[in-house]
Structure 1
Amino acid sequence: MSERFDGRGGNGREDADLRLKIVGLGGVSGRKSYYPELQRKVRELEREIEERRLAEDELRRLRSYLENVIDSMPSVLVAVDPDFNVTQWNRGAEVLTGVEEPNALGRSLVSVFPELEAQLDRIRQALSDREPRFMKKVPSSSEGEGRFEDITVYPLIANGLQGAVIRIDDVTEQVRLEEMMIQSEKMLSVGGLAAGMAHEINNPLAGILQSAAVLRNRLLSSMPANEKAAAESGIHMEGLRRYLDSRKIPSMLDAIQESSERAAGIVKEMLSFARKGKDHLPCDLPSLMDRTLELAKNDYDLKKKFDFRGIEIFKDYDDDLPEVKCEPGQIQQVLLNLMKNASQAMWEAHVERPELYLSVLDRGDYVRLVVQDNGPGVSDEVARRIFEPFFTTKKVGEGTGLGLSVSYFIVVENHDGAMALERPDGGGCRFMVDLPAGGDERV
């Protein structure tokens, strides 16, 4: 009686017999000679399958690891074939272009990364010469903001692969730091030139002041030398004075005297401003605020573009302030920049009644200097970036974007203080400069 295997059960011997028949190794009678060989073959096959499975797992793990490494790099990495179709697209490329990897793979480079169209000739050249190509500080734009990028093209020539890998690095901050260093050198040169000019102006200015004083004495006073010279000339001093009054000569002399003294004050402030202090000394901050205000009123560029005298000034100075040690020239530079920015903002916004609020407030551990205007204020985006180097809302040629960043550096780094911007509910900007108190002494 024979048994039939239906694929739904049976003992192991029957299954083995069936397998032997299927592979042509004989019937039951040949099982004893061929079964060990079959087992060996099965074990080898199972071992190969396991090794292949492990190799595939390792390959997937390695591929995932490499993809994570590539995606974790701050650079943009894009690989293309000889026809400039995308074969690799890392996370940096997704962030920069807004195109996700599945939507980029297989598509033409220009369609998913239009900014690289200008570099196609260089990519072709790299493929042709089989040599990398480097493009330094390539201007770009992102969200309307000027950027700079280093672009490197590496040709793929190994193991029969053809194509190229394009690497893009954002070097905007590096470029800006280089420009800042250059600008700082220029500012130092201009500062030294201004100080030299101030010294040179002092000499003829002193002559004008002295000559104006001598003219007043010789024309308007009744000293004996004047009476004698008039008599010898056949005139009377009283008649001369009436003539001078009728021609308003005394008021002209007053104007010469006043303007000369005003110019002398400006020169004095310029020399004080340009002089680099070596040590932090006790400082009378209310007096420094007032002197800076006078300097702002007489600043040449400010007077040329804005009428500072049309701004209404409000002051709030606390009494019995704690002692503050600082470098007066540097703090004056900060305050002058804040006043000039405020006046320009109000002028450009055509504020009907421009107002400037200046405060020196006792805050216990520190003294707060406040410069506030009633201008148009700033947006959230500007407020977030207001102290960044080279960030400016002014037109090209009207500002370098260094004023507030340098001011922030002076306050925070040079004086261990703090500097912040607030936007009052009524509009305008309020800049606060906090300087640490130097002791319990009161000034």
Structure 2
Amino acid sequence: MLQFRSLSQRLFFGYAAATLALIGFLVLFDEVTDFSLLTRLMVSLTLISLVFLILHLFFYRYVLRPLKHLMQITQKLADGGNSLIRAEKMQNDEVGDLVDAFNEMLDQIQLRKEMIVSERDRVAIALEQADDYANVTLATNKQLEIEVQVRKRIEAKLTEFQQFLTSIIDSMPSVLITIDQQFNVTQWNCEASDLSGTDSTKAIGSKVQDAFPMIAQHIEWIEQVWHQNVSRTLHNIEQTVHHQIRHFDIIVYPLKDTDAPSAVIRIDDITDKFLMEEAIIQSEKVMSLGGMAAGMAHEINNPISAIVQNVQNIKRRIAPDLAINQLQAEKSGIELDHLNHYLTERKIHAFLDNISQSGIRASNLVTNMLQFSRESGVNMQPCLIVDVLEKAINIAITDDRLSDFKDNFDLNFDQDFAAPQALVAGVFSELEQVLLNLIKNAVFAIKERMLSLNDIDEGIIHIHQYVLDNQCIISVVDNGIGMSAQTRKKIFEPFFTTKEVGAGTGLGLSVSYFIVCSHHNGQMQVESEFGHGCRFEITLPLYIEA
């Protein structure tokens, strides 16, 4: 089949076909006989063809050729040729405008291509930078992750260390309070809550004098810590805590290397230390008295013995029932009955009795003094402490010297023996003497409260016994007059007494103390406050079989 690849070929073929068709049409018709007409027709056709040819040439030059050139340029560009080639503008007509538009389009495409390439390069650079940033970010993230882990471990260690420090502070037996310069509490431990009764949540941020009333009277003294920048200490501050007298040391010292001025208040309960020091002082006094008593006892005992013995001899020499006295009276011409009547009327017998009783009393006093300077001559034996307590109580109940006091008020004994089988190594009579002294002193203290304060209806003496840590504890508690702090410090001193002259020697408690501490290796303590009774506590080691 015949094919035409260009518009001009198609036009030329169309022109030729039309001419041939016209000639053939004229030949086919027989009625055409006029040759001249045919001649004219051929001439016309020839002219027409020439006109068409001229038109075709004109059309080809001004339309088809520019379009063909434009198509060639387009094909080169489509085949990947030089993108900088442009179509040639052959005429300044519509086709030329088309070429300009085409070239402008190519310029725009080239510009867009250049922009795309530029953007592609920028994107490539951006991608490379993004990769770099991603790598840097990844490395940074890993570093941050490591730093976060390290920070978490450090924070955990710091938290653990802070909890450890808090635990140390809260576990300390001393009160620890941190304050700023305005006396606001910034730190508060458990001991401070226990002693003051103020919870830490309420104490933090409040004034220390409000949270801890014990410090209120020492605020000006504490303030000197900042003025002088030195630590300060108050010794042996006496306070009543839970109805008991306690002794405290208050230490205040400034904190160093802090942003704002701060200070720490430390309060130590020295009650046990204070009692121990008092006990040591009492022991030293007792020991010193023992050395003196050892030298004086024999010197005093000899003349006392002579006085008592001579009084007894005088009574025997004037006794009328002795034959030797009757014989000597007859020789002297004296009636013994008359003599004794005279001596009785003049109360000489009473004087002799007083001399004898005073001598015996002085002898007993010397015997008590000797308790300080000698060990007990009786071997230590296992003693059932309950028997000692019961016997001492029975003696006190039946003692005639206490009957006058017991007739004036009701006296009750509250006995609580939690360890009735407890045995201690000791001397039964000495332990009985100690308990009896404590009961007698309790009765006198109750009587004194009745007479002076008159604020109780009955006298009560609590005697409790129990075992703790291989020690037998005995407590004697009364609701008597009690003692002041000054009296409490001296009660174990020899010859110290609060009774009237002649009512006591002042050796009862000192001898009792010496018996318990020296002879029985125990301890004896006292707690008392004036107007609130007294509590004596004796601690004795339990008997251990060999």
Band of TM-score, shorter chain: 0.5 to 0.7
**By how many angstroms is 1:261 displaced?**
7.2
What per-residue deviation string (whole Å, max 9, x for no partner) do you get for residues 98-135 of structure 1? 22222111111111012112332232221122222222
Change (3 A) 1:346 1:391: closer
Deviation of 1:85 after TM superposition, in Å, equals 0.7
C-alpha spacing 1:437/1:346, structure 2 compared with 1 (3 Å): same
Q: SS at 1:376's partner residue? A: strand
Q: RMSD value over aligned CA atoms?
A: 5.1
| Residues 301-380 of structure 1 aligned to structure 2 (within 5 Å) | 332-346=429-443, 376-378=460-462
Alpha-carbon displacement from aligned partner over 1:132-188 (angstroms, at most 9, x marks no partner): 222232333321322222222221241433211112221121111111111122223
In 2, Cα distance between equivalents of 1:308 and 1:229:
52
Contact residue 277 and residue 327 of structure 1 kept, 8 A = no
Richer in helix (by share):
2
Whether 1:80 aligns to 2:179 is: yes
Are the structure 2 counterparts of residues 244 and 436 from structure 1 closer, same or farther at C-alpha, using a change threshold of 3 Å?
farther
In structure 1, the residue corresponding to 2:440 is in which secondary structure? helix
Distance in structure 2 (CA, Å) of the matches to 1:42 and 1:381: 78
The residue aligned with 1:116 is: 215
Kept in 2: contact 1:86–1:109 (CA 8 A): yes
1:91-170 alignment runs, 5 A limit = 91-170=190-269
Gaps of 5+ in 1: 1-25, 231-235, 311-323, 351-374, 415-428
How has the CA–CA distance of structure 1 residues 433 and 166 changed in structure 2, closer, same or farther, with 3 Å as cutoff? closer
Aligned partner of 1:33 in structure 2 is 129
Matches within 5 A, 1:187-226: 187-192=286-291, 196=296, 199-200=299-300, 202-214=302-314, 216-218=316-318, 220=320, 222-226=325-329
Higher mean C-alpha deviation, range 53-62 or range 333-342 = 53-62
The alpha-carbon distance between structure 1 residues 120 and 400, as it changes in their structure 2 partners (threshold 3 A), is same
- Could you say what secondary structure the match of 2:461 adopts? coil
Deviation at 1:209, TM superposition (A): 3.1
Give the distance between the partners of 1:434 and 1:62, measured in 2 at CA.
43
Distance, in Å, in 2 between the alignment partners of 1:340 and 1:77 is 43
Whole-angstrom distance in 2 between the partners of 1:389 and 1:309 = 18
Q: Which amino acid in the other structure matches residue 41 of structure 1?
A: T
**Match for 2:254: what amino acid?**
P
**Structure 2 portions without partners, runs of 5+:** 1-121, 408-422, 448-458, 493-508, 523-535
Distance 1:380 1:77 in 2: 36
One-letter code aligned to 2:263? A
- Note the 1:59-78 alignment, pairs <5 A: 59-78=158-177
Structure 2 equivalent of residue 16 of structure 1: none
Question: Residues 277 and 144 from structure 1, CA distance in 2 versus in 1: closer, same or farther, beyond 3 angstroms?
Answer: same
Question: Under a length normalisation based on structure 1, what TM-score does the superposition of the two structures give?
Answer: 0.60
Aligned to 1:366: none
Q: Which residue of 1 aligns with 2:332?
A: 229
Q: Is the partner of 2:279 in helix, strand or coil? A: helix
**CA gap 1:433/1:254 in 2 versus in 1, 3 angstroms:** farther
Shift of 1:41: 2.4
Q: Within 1, Cα distance between the matches of 2:464 and 2:380?
A: 37
Shift, 1:35, TM fit: 2.8
> Residues 80 and 380 of structure 1: is their aligned pair in 2 closer, same or farther, counting only changes over 3 Å?
farther
Moved more, 50-59 or 159-168: 50-59
SS in 2 for 1:281: coil
AA paired with 1:343? K
- Shift in Å at residue 46 of structure 1? 5.6
In structure 2, what is the Cα distance between the partners aligned to 1:407 and 1:102? Answer: 51
Among 147, 160, 168, which residue is 1:51 paired with?
147
What aligned pairs does 1:170-319 form with structure 2 within 5 A after superposition? 170-192=269-291, 196=296, 199-200=299-300, 202-214=302-314, 216-218=316-318, 220=320, 222-230=325-333, 236-237=334-335, 240-241=338-339, 243-244=341-342, 247=345, 252=350, 255=353, 259=357, 262-263=360-361, 266=364, 269-270=367-368, 273-277=371-375, 281=379
Number of residue-to-residue matches in the alignment = 346
Provide the rounded CA distance (Å) in 2 between the counterparts of 1:308 and 1:383: 33
Q: Percent of aligned pairs with the same residue?
A: 21
Contact 2:473 2:539 in 1 (8 A): no
- Post-superposition offset of 1:79: 0.9
In the alignment, is the contact (CA less than 8 A) between 1:152 and 1:167 conserved in 2? yes
What secondary structure sits across from 1:99 in the alignment? coil
Q: Give the CA deviation at 1:83.
A: 0.9
Work out whether residues 273 and 333 of structure 1, in 8 Å CA contact, stay in contact via their aligned partners in 2: no
Other structure's SS at 2:462 match: coil
Query: SS state of the match for residue 161, structure 1?
Result: coil
Does the 8 Å contact 2:234/2:250 carry over to 1? Answer: yes
Instruction: Determine if contact 1:308/1:343 at 8 Å carries over to the other structure.
Output: no
Q: 1:86 to 1:342 in 2, by over 3 A?
A: same
- The CA distance in 2 between the partners of 1:239 and 1:108, in whole Å, is 91
Structure 1 letter corresponding to 2:483: K
Alpha-carbon distance in structure 1 between the residues aligned to 2:234 and 2:301: 49
Q: Take 1:89 and 1:61, find their aligned partners in 2: how far apart are those partners?
A: 19
**Partner Cα separation in structure 2 for residue 34 and residue 277 of structure 1:** 100
Letter in 2 for 1:247: E
Deviation at 1:197, TM superposition (A): 5.6
Q: What SS class does the counterpart of residue 158 from structure 1 fall into?
A: coil
Measure how far apart 1:203 and its partner are. Answer: 0.4
Contact preservation (8 Å) 2:446, 2:478: no
Larger Rg: 2
Q: Cα distance, 1:61 vs. partner?
A: 2.6
Whole-Å separation in 1 of the counterparts to 2:316 and 2:465: 59
CA distance in 1, matches of 2:364, 2:199: 61
**Other structure's SS at 1:377 match:** strand
Matched residue type, 2:137? K
- What displacement does 1:190 show? 4.0
TM-score (norm 2): 0.50
Which amino acid is 1:229 matched to?
Answer: S
* Distance in 2 between residues matched to 1:31 and 1:51, nearest whole Å: 29
